[in-house]
Amino acid sequence: MSNSTVQAQWDLNGTAGTAWETVRGFMMASTSDNVQPLALMVCERFGGTLAMTNETTNKVQHVLLPFEPAPISFIKATVGFSRKDCATQLGKSAAGLRFLGLAAALVTSLGAFEGAKALELMLKSTTNDATFLPTTRHLKEVLGSLEARSQRCGFSELFATWQMLLREAALPHLFPDPDEVPRNPPFLRTAPSVEAIAGLVDVFRQVARMGPATVTGATIKAGSAAPWVLAFVQWCVEPPSVFLADRAVVERPESRIRVVLSNDINQPVEITIHHQVKELTPLLLGPATFFTAATGMVAVELYRAWLLPELGFGDGSLRLLPESLQYAIPQVLRKLKGGWFARLGQYVHPGRWPGRSNKWGAADPYCPSPLPDIRSIAATCTAFLAFKDPIEFTMPDDIIPIAELPLVARHLASLEQNCQCEHCFPDLDEDSIPEWCTKERFFRSLSFIIMDIFALSLFDSPSTLLLRLSVDRENGIGMEICISELIGIGSCQDFDNLNIITWARNMVGHVLEEQSRVIISSSKGQVIYPRVFDARHLENHGYLKLCCLPGVLRYQGETYDIVSYPVLGIERLKNQPDPVTVREPVSRPLNICRDFGSSWSISVRDNGELWAALLLHSKLDGSRWIEKDPLLLLENMANTLLVDGCPHDPRAELERADRFASYSCPWEDHPTPPPGTSSQVSVVAVDGADDLRCIALACTGWVSAVLGRNSCLSCCLNVCRDNDIHVLIL
């Protein structure tokens, strides 16, 4: 690291380059990100006082490289970063790069608000002129503008790596009795207080400064925040030596900083600064009882290595995973069902027509599945868990309970011996608080991994994702509980297919309100949305597939966090058009709505939100008619059969007109036919128009339908009548 330029204090007297060039750059950057220009300038000047390794500044500089934004065509937005934002402006100077390094560590692990509180303390302690000190709110805005870019800088990877190292090396010494080892030790997920962080930065400054300085190093003692402190030391100064009491965990004789892990996990950060002549009195930084929850975003490989021990799969129990998942996932795919037709996953059988019942439970090849082909799920499972051999899902004729698998049965028996729940330990003292059953916890952990596999299978390139270091899932847990009960006790319930999407959003750090109808979410430097909205092409297998783009969502020059359908604005009609009258009987595929098309209605709201709806419009005069919730497309697919690619000419006409069918428009109601007319079919005549097919499917409500594509009218009508369905969308 370059220690010679670390300053003791900052001020705004004098700037690099001409005054006008500097001010102009900061004004443009602050305007781009809606931050206070003076706060941005102060942060850049403050960077000159920071110790930061060359490796860190190189990483920071790398993520600032500009790249072409990616379009989201259906709402006419883009995903990427501005070439004139705050991060780009700060990256133009060495001091700015150092501040970006500090900001990346703070904002990715603590969040913008806690990071701003720590930053405010640092600024106050390094200036004699408080005139230009920014407020906490202004500093929060600066850090918030840097968060998306900072996610890929690498501090979270260091944090996770030190967590795993200490979990392996320190837990056996902190808790000699294996039964007393906490499942999720608090020191694996906390950061020091903001006062302690400010003190650490000051110590790093003293250690890094050269010339007349007499400081030769420092010893840092920490408890629960030790992994974060270790990552921060390596990020700012150098890889430290690590000791547990008097035992070396990682010894680096050349390192100037030594970190000692206390036997007391509530130990606050305590620092002893070493001088050439004497030792200073230890500094106690922050109260012993206050810690900040810390998290971060990491690559898939590191997330896997961090996750498995968190869920109780250590070295011994890792052997259970291939066998357990080999049987558990097929059972889940076979038995869980959503809506009238949707199944989680199926095999793709190219060239088979028509389908027949098989042991996977698919009545025919028309049943849609929200997940991709089962072979794709198996490939995702193998890659995610880094199995040496590709996993092959096994589905015998008789379902084998997971608990009866040899390795699993032995593991459950060992868990039961030490379980303190009411079921496994009936002699529990009445005054004792029963624990959560360890066997039930095993099945919940297994179902958690299965849900992660399902979510990752929705992405075309999951290896490029950043995943949140957390086992908390604020959304989508209903389906995970269903899976746990299915593989644990055989109980089977219907699932809500949108639970898979909300789980996937949580994995990539997007935590949403429970009742929100989210179409696009943007957070942690990633933008997520269902691929069908861009393609307007509904897949029989994997209709919930997701797109993930790096960057932030930008619409008309502004940045937004979420695009949603307003819950309170459901079914807004604008002069619903009259039905198009067709006098001829149903005999051939038609599009009777050529004068209509679908588009998106976008309205800008407050607090970084866009409202969006699927819109029917007139191609003749631009009139706007019906607005629909786009998520109805995905929900109604569970009640739809998709007939794709029959062996006949899709344009073939019927040999004679069908007297029990009639043409209709996408927006017409489809009432249930009266008794005795089960063969009656309403044919939504939008042949060849994918955009109108989407409108039609969104308008079906809870009525089941057949969606025809590349298939003749006769085969589509046959599927309708074979399954007692009265709506056909051509």
DSSP readout, 27-92?
HHHHHHHT--HHHHHHHHHHGGG----HHHHHHHHHHT---PPEEEGGGTEEEE--TTSHHHHHTT
Rounded CA-CA distance 597/151 in Å is 40
Do both 667 and 717 map to the same domain?
yes
What phi, psi does 251 have (nearest 5°)? -115, 120
Do both 257 and 356 map to the same domain?
no
Asked, for residue 9, whether it belongs to a domain, the answer is no
Do both 74 and 178 map to the same domain?
no
Question: Are the C-beta atoms of residues 272 and 288 closer than 8 Å to each other?
Answer: no
Do both 289 and 309 map to the same domain?
no
Which tokens hold the place of 247? 């035992």
Do both 525 and 650 map to the same domain?
no
Do both 114 and 242 map to the same domain?
no
Do both 673 and 626 map to the same domain?
yes
CA distances from 681 to 445, 657, 662, 670, 688 (A): 47, 13, 7, 10, 19
Asked, for residue 97, whether it belongs to a domain, the answer is yes
pTM listed for this prediction: 0.89
Local structure of 206: helix, strand or coil? helix
Q: Last residue of some domain: 112, 132, 150?
A: 150
Question: Are the C-beta atoms of residues 419 and 439 closer than 8 Å to each other?
Answer: yes
To which residue do tokens 């750090």 refer? 509
CA distances from 348 to 352, 366, 547 (A): 9, 11, 22
Do both 260 and 304 map to the same domain?
no
Asked, for residue 616, whether it belongs to a domain, the answer is yes
Do both 117 and 168 map to the same domain?
no
Asked, for residue 13, whether it belongs to a domain, the answer is no
Asked, for residue 583, whether it belongs to a domain, the answer is yes
Which tokens hold the place of 426? 């009936």
Asked, for residue 355, whether it belongs to a domain, the answer is yes
Q: Last residue of some domain: 94, 122, 150?
A: 150
Asked, for residue 185, whether it belongs to a domain, the answer is yes
Domain that holds residue 409: 300-562
Q: In 286-402, which ranges are E strands? A: 292-293, 297-299, 337-338, 342-343
Do both 552 and 570 map to the same domain?
no
Do both 716 and 583 map to the same domain?
yes
To which residue do tokens 């030490």 refer? 418
Apex CA 381: angle with CA 380 and CA 383, to 5°?
65
Domains identified in the chain, total number: 4
Q: Last residue of some domain: 84, 118, 150?
A: 150
CA distances from 173 to 168, 313, 552 (A): 10, 20, 44
Question: Are the C-beta atoms of residues 683 and 664 closer than 8 Å to each other?
Answer: yes
Asked, for residue 5, whether it belongs to a domain, the answer is no
Q: Which residues of the chain have pLDDT under 70?
A: 1-4, 13-22, 66, 174-188, 210-213, 277-293, 345-364, 395-399, 420, 422, 425-435, 514-515, 568-576, 671-677
Do both 349 and 471 map to the same domain?
yes
Which tokens hold the place of 604? 């800008």
